[in-house]
């Protein structure tokens, strides 16, 4: 008797095992890497016959395209179609066909796949996969098509008895390279929103170690960036890269460690700490621990001071806490979920609660652990989203990190009082005269424990030498020195340092100028607020318009609306109208409080009754007060007499502000960066580069309770429509040239 394999095994090792759509794509990218590709294209293609593009089950395709060694018919038949077979595990990829595939010898890579099931990850993305592939010693393209759903039709059918389609073609899909593989996934199983497509790019940005410079594999990602049967010209803007290494350089407190074999064949562990670009110590010891069985381990972790976090956010466009913390890379690729925003591999956040002033949590750290492991000693779980199997090697790695990275870094940060004076921002270094010499010596003894030998310890670092004035002095001395030629290299080095400092200074000054302008506007607003609050009003009017607590009340109401939004899906259908109506009233009250505060403290407009208001001037005033780095608002006037044509009598200023706030928030929540408001004689338009409105929903967006945004209330646009209707105006929406445009028209009388 023998085991028999049901066709249902396909789902067990495919879509049931790898449920994360991002991980599924990563598995296919890793296969390209193992095929010695230097370029991978991840393209989400919309179909020509669909207005919606990617989003429906039978609409759109995903392409994973590489310039690797490709596959022959024999490779497809005896390797790709063989469940759980991996030539990577046996090492035969390096040995066979060496004469035909010399390209394999060029790239000295450690293979990242070993289980022989990564190919089945495509099943979680779509039901049909088509492979087009060519090897460099053939002039034909091999094509293989698999419908994964065929394996689910009858589980009594043996896995190997389900047929797949194979054919050969002399017409090549890519005529400009010698070898390639194109994976086309169709009949998609999931919808793909703009947010999720952006998520692919962001996660691919961390797939290969972004902390080190690496030109080994270029990854391109985007919509419609690969077109089958056409010579493509990739837009370099779709190339995924990260400049995080440059952002962190000389800005953070960095500790590094390496475990590798020296030229003499001896395993050594070396640890170094740099404080904002200056070396503090290097320690080293011979190592015979279990970790020396792994080919190589490199660790680099940065502690971010408050100013370093600010620099990171400004230059990366994301706060460090939202970027991630301690990432782990095995053979060059990210091991999920280590390092991701809410994952804490070492339990640092719980530990922080036990000693808040002594310990560092993930929100203060960012870095990586890079492992080269050709023997597969640190094994990933089959699901590919649960990290390493908890074996002895992984436990030893965690103990090493805590003993020789985390604790020494925490101790150093305590000595220098967290790197800066919190109130003033003044930076503190180990050379600070207030730090007792005994403390420094005790720290030196601490880092030399466990047989570590101190190679260098510098408690008298010259932090003055790289100040611009010092560099200029050295340049002047070099130019005045008769032996100028001998000093040329030193002069060149100093000039480069000075140039970088001036460029950095220019950026900082530009940022300071922007902040100063914002502060100036805030101060002007405070002056107006003080003037208005002290203006002569009746006692009744004055008491009614005190707004001290309005902001607090509005914030509480907004929080309540958000809480109610989360439970909206649980409300029975027959009660949904009443629920939405009640939610609309709460939301309206929140907006009214905000609007009332704006009017009371910043204008002299009468708030208790309608008044004559020029909408062009009013819109301009309102958005000047709301200047934001995230959304640029521009008021455009296409009128001959703007000061009279849009003067609207009996205008409720609170209602107008609520309308503007809804337009603003609607654009902001849908990832807009610009908002243009244009006035014409009988209409005005509000256009933003927001996420387009689905065409099948465009007529419903003003209905109460309808929203295209997950957990949206469907209230804001409905409020706008009702207000305009009272003003005898109409509003419509449409997608126009990559913009979402609302048009408000006045009915002709």
Residue with tokens 């792994």: 294
pLDDT, residue 465, reads: 53
Calculate mean pLDDT across residues 111-125: 70
**Could you tell me the sign of the dihedral formed by the alpha carbons of 422, 424, 429, 431, in that order?**
negative
Other C-beta atoms lying within 10 Å of the C-beta of residue 736: 12
Calculate mean pLDDT across residues 197-205: 85
With a pLDDT cut of 70, the percent of the chain lying above it is: 65
Q: Which residue has the higher pLDDT, 493 or 247?
A: 247
**How does residue 130 score in pLDDT terms, banded at 50, 70 and 90?**
very high
Second CATH level (architecture) for the domain 535-746: 2-Layer Sandwich (3.30)
**Is the per-residue pLDDT at 644 higher than 90?**
no
Calculate mean pLDDT across residues 86-95: 46
Cα dihedral 319, 500, 430, 405, rounded to 10, equals: 50
**Is the per-residue pLDDT at 327 higher than 70?**
yes
pLDDT, residue 104, reads: 42
What is d(CA 598, CA 603) in angstroms, rounded to the nearest whole number? Answer: 8
Cα dihedral 83, 86, 90, 91, rounded to 10, equals: 160
**How does residue 59 score in pLDDT terms, banded at 50, 70 and 90?**
low
pLDDT, residue 460, reads: 67
Calculate mean pLDDT across residues 327-331: 91
Q: 9-242 in CATH: which number?
A: 3.30.565.10
Per-residue burial over 287-306, b = 16 or more CB atoms within 10 Å of its CB, e = otherwise: beeebbebbebbbbbbbbbe
Contact 331, 30 (CB under 8 A): no
**Is the per-residue pLDDT at 188 higher than 80?**
yes
pLDDT, tens only, 223-271: 888 887 666 666 667 888 777 877 777 778 899 999 988 777 788 999 9
pLDDT, tens only, 430-448: 666 566 677 788 888 899 9
Calculate mean pLDDT across residues 477-490: 62
**Is the per-residue pLDDT at 135 higher than 90?**
yes
Give yes or no on whether 9-242 and 535-746 have one common fold: yes
Q: If 0-12 CB within 10 Å is exposed, 13-18 middle and 19+ buried, where does residue 32 land? A: buried
Helix (H) or strand (E) holding 316: helix 306-316
Calculate mean pLDDT across residues 195-213: 84
The backbone torsions φ and ψ at residue 220, rounded to the nearest 5 degrees and listed phi first, read -110, 140
pLDDT, tens only, 578-634: 666 666 666 656 556 665 556 555 555 665 556 788 888 888 888 876 766 678 888
Calculate mean pLDDT across residues 514-522: 67
Q: Which residue has the higher pLDDT, 353 or 497?
A: 353
pLDDT, tens only, 367-426: 999 999 888 888 888 666 678 888 999 999 999 999 999 999 998 888 877 655 454 456
**How does residue 697 score in pLDDT terms, banded at 50, 70 and 90?**
confident
Other C-beta atoms lying within 10 Å of the C-beta of residue 221: 23
**How does residue 131 score in pLDDT terms, banded at 50, 70 and 90?**
very high
**How does residue 346 score in pLDDT terms, banded at 50, 70 and 90?**
very high
3-state class (DSSP) for residue 613: strand
**Is the per-residue pLDDT at 684 higher than 50?**
yes
pLDDT, residue 406, reads: 94
pLDDT, tens only, 169-178: 999 988 888 9
**Is the per-residue pLDDT at 211 higher than 80?**
yes
pLDDT, tens only, 699-742: 888 887 677 665 555 677 888 888 898 888 999 999 887 789 99
Provide the CA 637 distance to its chain's centre, in angstroms: 37
The ranges assigned to domains in the chain are: 9-242, 246-457, 484-515, 535-746
pLDDT, residue 505, reads: 59
The backbone torsions φ and ψ at residue 61, rounded to the nearest 5 degrees and listed phi first, read -140, 155
pLDDT, residue 748, reads: 63
Sequence-distant (6+) residues with CB within 8 A of 564 are: 583, 586
Q: Which residue has the higher pLDDT, 679 or 473?
A: 679
């Amino acid at each position: 008797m023998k085991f028999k394999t049901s066709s249902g095994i396909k789902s067990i090792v495919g879509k049931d095992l790898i449920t994360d759509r991002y991980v599924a794509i990563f598995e296919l990218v890793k296969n390209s890497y193992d095929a010695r590709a230097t370029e991978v294209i991840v393209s989400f293609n919309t179909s020509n016959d669909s207005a919606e593009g990617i989003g429906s089950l039978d609409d759109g395709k995903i392409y994973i395209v590489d310039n690797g060694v490709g596959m022959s018919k024999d490779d497809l038949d005896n390797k790709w179609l063989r469940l759980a077979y991996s030539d990577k595990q046996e090492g035969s990829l390096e040995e066979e066909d060496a004469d035909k595939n010399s390209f394999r010898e060029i790239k000295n890579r450690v293979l990242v796949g070993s289980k022989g099931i990564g190919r089945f990850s495509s099943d979680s993305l779509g039901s049909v996969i088509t492979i087009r592939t060519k090897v460099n010693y053939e002039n034909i393209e091999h094509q293989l098509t698999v419908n994964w759903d065929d394996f689910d039709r009858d589980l009594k059918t043996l896995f190997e008895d389900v047929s797949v389609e194979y054919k050969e073609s002399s017409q090549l899909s890519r005529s400009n390279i010698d070898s390639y593989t194109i994976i086309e996934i169709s009949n998609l199983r999931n919808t793909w929103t703009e947010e999720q497509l952006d998520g692919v790019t962001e996660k691919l940005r961390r797939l290969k170690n972004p902390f080190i410079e690496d030109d080994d594999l270029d990854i391109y990602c985007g919509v419609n960036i690969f077109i089958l049967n056409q010579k493509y010209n990739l837009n370099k803007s779709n190339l995924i890269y990260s400049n995080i290494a440059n952002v962190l350089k000389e800005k953070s407190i960095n500790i590094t460690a390496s475990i590798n074999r020296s030229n003499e064949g001896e395993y050594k562990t070396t640890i170094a700490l740099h404080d904002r670009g200056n070396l503090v110590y290097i320690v080293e010891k011979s190592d015979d621990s279990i970790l020396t069985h792994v080919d190589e381990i490199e660790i680099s972790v940065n502690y971010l001071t408050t100013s370093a976090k600010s620099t990171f956010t400004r230059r990366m466009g994301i706060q460090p806490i939202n970027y991630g913390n301690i990432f782990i890379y095995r053979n060059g690729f990210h091991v999920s979920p280590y390092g991701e925003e809410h994952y804490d591999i070492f339990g640092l956040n719980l530990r922080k609660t036990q000693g808040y002033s002594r310990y560092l949590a993930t929100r203060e750290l960012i870095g990586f652990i890079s492992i080269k492991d050709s023997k597969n000693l640190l094994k990933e779980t089959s699901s590919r989203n649960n990290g390493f199997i908890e074996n002895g090697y992984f436990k030893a790695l965690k103990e090493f990190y805590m003993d020789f990275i985390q604790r020494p870094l925490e101790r150093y940060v305590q000595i220098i009082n967290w790197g800066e004076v919190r109130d003033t921002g003044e930076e503190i270094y180990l050379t600070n005269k207030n730090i007792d010499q005994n403390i420094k010596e005790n720290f030196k003894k601490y880092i030399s424990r466990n047989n570590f030998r101190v190679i260098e310890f510098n408690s008298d670092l010259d932090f003055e030498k790289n100040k611009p004035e010092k560099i200029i002095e050295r340049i002047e001395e070099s130019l005045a020195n008769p032996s100028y030629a001998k000093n040329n290299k030193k002069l060149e080095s100093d000039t480069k340092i000075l140039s970088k400092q001036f460029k950095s200074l220019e950026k900082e000054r530009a940022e300071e100028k922007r902040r100063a302008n914002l502060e100036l506007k805030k101060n002007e607003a405070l002056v107006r607020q003080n003037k208005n609050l002290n203006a002569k009003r009746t006692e009744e009017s004055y008491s009614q318009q005190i707004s001290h607590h309005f902001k607090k009340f509005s914030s509480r109401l907004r929080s309540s609306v958000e809480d109610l939004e989360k439970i909206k899906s649980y409300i029975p259908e027959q009660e949904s109208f009443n629920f939405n109506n009640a939610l609309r009233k709460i939301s309206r009250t929140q907006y009214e409080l905000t609007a009332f505060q704006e009017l009371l403290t910043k204008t002299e407009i009468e708030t208790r009754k309608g008044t004559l208001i020029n909408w062009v001037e009013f819109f301009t005033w309102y958005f000047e007060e709301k200047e934001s780095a995230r959304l640029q608002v521009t008021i455009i006037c296409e009128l001959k007499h703007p000061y009279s044509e849009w003067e609207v009598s009996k205008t409720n200023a609170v209602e107008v502000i609520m309308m503007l706030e809804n337009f603003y928030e609607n654009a902001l929540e849908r990832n807009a960066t610009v908002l243009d408001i244009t006035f014409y004689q009988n209409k005005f338009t509000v256009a933003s580069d927001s996420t387009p409105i689905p065409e099948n929903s465009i007529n419903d967006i003003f209905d109460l309770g309808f929203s295209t945004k997950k957990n949206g209330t469907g209230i804001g646009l409905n409020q706008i429509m009702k207000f305009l209707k009272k003003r005898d105006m109409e509003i419509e929406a449409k997608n126009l040239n990559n913009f979402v445009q609302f048009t408000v028209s006045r009915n002709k009388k």
